[in-house]
A and B are shown apart, each in its own frame.
Chain A
Amino acid sequence: MPTRALYLLPLAVFLVMAGYFALGLTKDPKIIPSALIDKPVPAFKLPPIEGGKGNGFSSDDLKGDITVVNVFASWCIPCRAEHPLVTELAEMKIARVYGLNYKDKPADALRWLSALGDSYYATGADRDGRVGIDWGVYGVPETFIVDRFGKIRHKQVGPMSPDILRKQIVPIIRDLKK
């Protein structure tokens, strides 16, 4: 009976949706940040910020020594709060700190860096956010620690606090150095 089938349609649509929900639930939002942990960094090559210094950086630069990749943007308010800590980390000279400028306008980024200080070893501009997607960036700031084999070993989501810097980031880098 076609009418009866019509009355069944809403149930069928809902069941399909429920199936997708169930699948969606298996993806824990908390897992996403660590999905890249212990994986090699995605291959990428970033140009420098337009009009700025340096030659950008690429995945090849993240091999051979312990490095830190800090994702920042001038439009991001927490980044500004975090920036002095990034500077502090860079000045400890325990790892090279790279800056990944995420979805930013070059002029804004340069103004931001000149106002707050540029202690990055090198910066790369990810204007359309393509590289950010590969890195699983879903909010700015984020900070990655990469070991000397080019594998991501730690990911900090959101701004570092002095506590996080001293009790998590620095000890992890020290451990990797051993």
Chain B
Amino acid sequence: MTAEIGHFALILALLVGIVQAALPLYGAHHGIRPWMAVAKPAALVQLALVTTAFGCLMQLYITSDFSVLNVVSNSHTAKPLLYKISGVWGNHEGSLLLWVLILALFGSAVALFGANLPPSLRARVLGIQALIAVGFYLFMLLTSNPFQRITPPPLNGNDLNPLLQDPGLAFHPPMLYLGYVGFSMAFSFAIAALIEGRVDATWARWVRPWTLAAWCFLTAGIALGSWWAYYELGWGGWWFWDPVENASFMPWLAGTALLHSSTVVEKRDTLKGWTILLAIVTFSLSLLGTFLVRSGVLTSVHAFATDPARGVFILMLLIIVIGGSLALFAVRGPALVSTGLFQPISREGALLLNNLVMVTAAAAVLLGTLYPLVLDAVGGGKVSVGPPFFNAVFIPLMVPMIVAMAVGPLLAWKRADLAPALSRLWAAALAALAVMALAWAAMTGGPLLGVAGVGLAAWLFVGTLVELASRIRLFRDSAADSLGRLRRTPRAAWGMTLAHLGLAIAVAGMAAAGAWKTESIQAMKPGDTVTVGGYAFTFDGARAGRGPNYQLVAGAFRVSRDGKPFVTLMPERRVYDVGQRPTTEAAIHTTFWGDLYAVIGEAEGAAGAYVTRIYFNPLVAWMWAGVLIMVAGGVLSLSDRRHRVGAPARRAGAGVAQAARA
């Protein structure tokens, strides 16, 4: 019964979606107010229906209803409750349901909190949201129904891929989807603006919080995925340029560009067409991310759907959504007139440089991800370009951008002089040189790239602080005046400062972890010792045991530094009962300067020897910390007063709700 209710709710949601798309869009075109007003209740009903469907699927998973195919394929009675729940979205059909649930959530947020939007704009935004939703409902109902029954029902399920049975991964997809789908708001606003033919500062102020919220979620989602790869895959790496990682990284790059260019639209009434295009491109890349993962065009660990019928459907959807919006852009875009003029050396110029680098980087990632596909399509065979390509393209792009990132915020709008800005950065230059010298001395013989990387990070970190100091006129006015300015600094400005500081810390982590990682792979008997990164790891042997739904072998390493005991690491190797698939659970001890990382592999011959992998990953924790600070910066900026103008009465609430108060 539950499955039928869910299925029925999904069909109803499709019908409501069609109404929500048709009436408000038509009404907005002909100025029929009651038709436009349909959008709000329709969006709320849609949310109620999709929530019902999602709740039904979750109920089926929790009660392990094996008469439903989706539950059979992805669950098992012996699985812990958390993974029964996360199993709901750990598969193709369920993840789509999550997608539309989040879309409906954002839609009703506009309906509820968008009271200050002009009625026609709100009707159009919601209508376009509904069009996207209709595409996804059709896709689910026609090709990927999560409520498909199976007869006869089997006694037990096939279990979820054990790699996915992990707390980090339980929350990774929802975060990522909040980001992907969040960009649909920017997209809908962009299309609505193209239809209305009007893009101005107020429009930019409405779009910005949605973009910012989506960006925060996506940033956190990507970091969570990378963290999961780091501790679960057991190779000590944190980014593999896997197509699926790239799929989430491309919208991030484009979304970051959008975030910066929408500031220019808001403050200077220029770069309009470009910002609209970025909004379309960002959401298109989000859709493409879904497409790449789901269609089987690219096969990878993550790809849970390889069904050509689905691929054809998604391709049609992409052509309609992306092709349609770009065609609209081609027709209506030239009509958007920008009034603000600016010189190349100016705040606008710096933001445009950021945009160009971000977009070029996104294009490069797209090329590297799709090139193998294109080559295969023209008969060139299956290849993978892999990390060498991405590193070769990415690093030369990012280095000048980070150099410019410290300078940009110091430039005035419209027209600026480079020389005074640069002269204010003497402290940053000094810091960069000092850090590079220190790194060079400490890591003699290491790759130069690492030295340059931490130097850049120091430059950006101190440069961002210099900007903060000059904003509050530190040391130039009295301390009390500076403190007053510090207090009056708007949260959006604080957000930028934090986000840039966060990036600096993350860059230091990436550079150090990339350049100075040390590893040692060997067979170890109990009592054997290896030294990695200045720490001595003594293997104490391994013992077998049992977890809730797996067998395990747990090894013990006593780690000492300079002869003094430091910590004991207990990595595990698990073999899941169902499917007999093994996973590694690395043991990680985080210190300020780096992570001690131990993995236990296969038994090697007799005498209790095991294959072990031991790594010292310098500054890895800085990466996660830096990303967290970036997200915090985004959230802080989201709470800025300027986004709340127009709804002064309400103060409580957080996250999406706050974003909605545009």
Residues of chain A touching chain B, judged by Cβ–Cβ distance below 8 Å, are 1, 3-4, 7-8, 10-11, 14-15, 17-18, 20-25, 27-30, 32, 77, 80-81, 115, 133, 138
Contacts and interface: CB of A to CB of B under 8 A. Distances in A.
- Of the four ranges (under 10, 10 to 19, 20 to 34, 35 or more), the interface on chain B belongs to 35 or more
B308 A17 contact: no
A81 B334 contact: no
Interface in B359-382: 370, 373-374, 376-378, 381-382
Interface string B532-574: 0000000000000000000000000000000000000000000
Given A11-B327, A20-B370, 14 more contacts: A7-B330, A10-B330, A14-B284, A14-B323, A14-B326, A18-B323, A25-B295, A25-B297, A25-B311, A27-B376, A29-B296, A77-B582, A115-B605, A138-B382
Contact of A21 (B297, B382, B582, B604): B297
A32 B604 CA distance: 35
Contacts of A7: 273, 329-330, 333-334
A14 B382 CA distance: 23
Nearest to B319: A18
Contacts of B312: 25
Contact of A3 (B299, B326, B334, B604): B334
19 contacts: A4-B330, A7-B330, A7-B334, A10-B277, A10-B280, A11-B330, A14-B323, A18-B318, A18-B323, A20-B373, A21-B297, A25-B295, A25-B312, A25-B315, A27-B377, A28-B296, A29-B306, A30-B306, A81-B580
A18 B321 CA distance: 12
A167 B273 CA distance: 63
Interface string B372-401: 011011100110000000000000000000
A21 B318 contact: yes
Interface of A is mostly: helix
A4 B376 CA distance: 34
A14 B321 CA distance: 11
A24 B318 CA distance: 14
B48 interface: no
B373 A24 contact: yes
B257 to A, nearest CB: 14
A11 B329 contact: yes
B242 interface: no
B439 interface: no
B326 A77 contact: no
Contacts of A1: 334
A28 B308 contact: yes
A22 B273 CA distance: 29
Contacts of A32: 382
B181 to A, nearest CB: 21
B581 to A, nearest CB: 9
A137 to B, nearest CB: 10
